[in-house]
Chains A and B, each alone.
Chain A
Amino acid sequence: MSDSLKKKLKLKVSAINDGTVIDHIPSENLFKVISILGLERVKSQITFGFNFESEKMGSKAIIKVSDVFFEDDEINKISLIARNAKLNIIRDYEVVEKRIVEVPDKVIGIVKCFNPKCITNNEEITTYFNVISKNPLDLKCKYCEKITHEHQMVIK
């Protein structure tokens, strides 16, 4: 296959001239990712697809957002539900940067503490967790010291 043909095929896949492609999202979390990133409020063109076959994860979803470039702390948020997501930053049809989303060592804000008796659920306080396990995700609240497990996680 010639280089120009490859490039044409790639163009078809990315199909945006400037923006961000988020790849390797678990299909079942696609709509959560859309909501966490607030994409329903974005005015520019967005395409997404899910149930793509993936060797690594079985079934994956992809989001392509034109003219939007995400800040690190926004991307932090999706790392909690899309552990292996990859970002391709596109400028003028070229992938100019690839970023891997990783679970940070600390999660500040974003997640609610599962403990209803925690001070953070009773007063206006930014939550703060130390990540004590990344897979499965275990978050230890700095305040009440209780562990919020992955299946109890609620995004704020």
Chain B
Amino acid sequence: MKKDLISITDYSKEDYLRILKLAADFEENPNQRLLEGKVVASLFFEPSTRTRLSFETAINRLGGRIVGFSDAGSSSVSKGETLHDTIRMVSNYVDLIVMRHPLEGSARYAAEVADVPVINAGDGANQHPTQTLLDMYSILKTQGRLDNINIFMIGDLKYGRTVHSLLMAMTEFKNPIFNFIAPEELSMPEEYKMFLADKGIRYFEHTEINDNINHADIIYMTRVQKERFMDPIEYEKVKNVYILKNDMLKGTKPNMRILHPLPRINEIHPDVDKNEKAYYFTQARNGVFTRQAIIAHILNLK
């Protein structure tokens, strides 16, 4: 049976660890021509330059060739072709499909239609599992472990798919502690809190950033987006509460690192960038190694 990567929870802890190990190996030695002679489709039905460049760099470093498109406007999709037909056609041509699509569930559907493996590079607000794996790789690299991690998630915890997936993945490891800092209208959904409570995992909720972050091993920042608020006045009230500034980091642990899926708007003040605890640009670099590892895992190249 072919392997796909659609949703982070489709994978087991063993899969995570195998991929993270491979990622470390690719970081050590990024140019390994394991995809020589193979063709990968990079299908971006909506533009996402950052994710696309990361994938295409990973494929190039593995010696593979790429076909595809970077937004739906330049493809047959704009002529009204169904996703089903596009995937059936492309699946005949290539060895692997990397796909981003604005509709939720499109990746799982594509995986059912395609004869070749599918990697979900984001399906609307639903899943973005390669982001989660690179987040885990960044945690492992900076902390030396994935057990006993105290994670502070800050910002939009209601709609932020990256925090939901990271939460689910980290519960596979021993003794995590979660701290959620968000305005009430963007707080962590009940279903995730119930999931943690059922598993006996500790979590704490806060509405402001203060010296509570001194306990953090990882601070995971997300954007608070204006369009998420029904009432613009509510947004004005909270928009400056969830900005991380350098002077807030004084009492934080020496091993603490700040992650952010990028792009950021104003939620991390630029004065944080020169702090050694700012890790978000290195995190993005880790994405290439992690995606090399995911491709190698899925196609059994290593």
> Residues on A close to B: CB < 8 A?
113, 115, 117-120, 122-125, 141-147
Give the CA-CA distance A142 to B123 in the complex, in Å.
Answer: 13
Cβ B108 vs Cβ A142 within 8 A = yes
- Does B126 lie at the interface of the complex (its beta carbon under 8 Å from any beta carbon of A)? yes
Q: Given known contacts A117-B124, A119-B109, A123-B82, is B7 in contact with A145 (CB within 8 Å)?
A: yes
Number of A-B contacts (CB under 8 A): 49
Give the CA-CA distance A124 to B109 in the complex, in Å.
Answer: 11
A-contact bits for B107-149, CB 8 A (1 contact / 0 none): 0110000000000000111110000000000000000000000
A-contact bits for B29-45, CB 8 A (1 contact / 0 none): 00000000000000000
Give the CA-CA distance A115 to B106 in the complex, in Å.
Answer: 13
| Residue among B84, B102, B105 making CB contact with A143, cutoff 8 Å | B105
- Does B104 lie at the interface of the complex (its beta carbon under 8 Å from any beta carbon of A)? yes
Point out the residues of chain A lying under 8 angstroms from B201, CB to CB. none
- Please report the total number of B residues contacting A with Cβ < 8 Å: 18
Give the CA-CA distance A123 to B102 in the complex, in Å.
Answer: 13
Point out the residues of chain B lying under 8 angstroms from A113, CB to CB. 105
- Does B83 lie at the interface of the complex (its beta carbon under 8 Å from any beta carbon of A)? yes
A-B pairs with beta carbons under 8 Å apart, 29 shown: A113-B105, A117-B104, A117-B125, A118-B103, A118-B104, A119-B101, A119-B104, A119-B106, A119-B109, A120-B105, A123-B84, A123-B109, A124-B82, A124-B84, A125-B109, A141-B105, A142-B108, A143-B104, A143-B105, A143-B109, A144-B104, A144-B105, A145-B7, A145-B104, A145-B126, A145-B127, A146-B104, A146-B126, A147-B191
Given contacts A119-B101, A119-B104, A120-B105, 4 further A-B contacts (CB under 8 A): A113-B105, A123-B82, A141-B105, A145-B104
Q: Give me the 10 closest cross-chain CB pairs, A-B, nearest first.
A: A143-B105, A144-B104, A144-B105, A119-B105, A119-B106, A119-B103, A117-B104, A119-B109, A118-B105, A143-B108
Give, as a whole number of angstroms, the nearest-CB distance from A65 to chain B. 37
Give, as a whole number of angstroms, the nearest-CB distance from B231 to chain A. 23
Cβ A122 vs Cβ B127 within 8 A = no
Give the CA-CA distance A125 to B124 in the complex, in Å.
Answer: 18
Point out the residues of chain A lying under 8 angstroms from B83, CB to CB. 119, 123
Give, as a whole number of angstroms, the nearest-CB distance from A68 to chain B. 35
A-contact bits for B68-105, CB 8 A (1 contact / 0 none): 00000000000000111000000000000000011111
A-contact bits for B164-183, CB 8 A (1 contact / 0 none): 00000000000000000000
Give, as a whole number of angstroms, the nearest-CB distance from A154 to chain B. 17
Give the CA-CA distance A120 to B123 in the complex, in Å.
Answer: 13
Give the CA-CA distance A113 to B108 in the complex, in Å.
Answer: 15
Point out the residues of chain A lying under 8 angstroms from B103, CB to CB. 117-119, 122
Give the CA-CA distance A13 to B47 in the complex, in Å.
Answer: 65
Give the CA-CA distance A147 to B125 in the complex, in Å.
Answer: 14
CB nearest neighbor in B for A113: B105
Give the CA-CA distance A120 to B7 in the complex, in Å.
Answer: 17
Give the CA-CA distance A120 to B84 in the complex, in Å.
Answer: 12
Give, as a whole number of angstroms, the nearest-CB distance from A128 to chain B. 10
CB nearest neighbor in A for B127: A145
Give the CA-CA distance A142 to B108 in the complex, in Å.
Answer: 8
Point out the residues of chain A lying under 8 angstroms from B84, CB to CB. 123-124
| Residue among B102, B104, B109 making CB contact with A115, cutoff 8 Å | B104
Give, as a whole number of angstroms, the nearest-CB distance from A1 to chain B. 53
CB nearest neighbor in B for A120: B105
Point out the residues of chain B lying under 8 angstroms from A125, CB to CB. 109
CB nearest neighbor in A for B103: A119
Give the CA-CA distance A120 to B112 in the complex, in Å.
Answer: 13
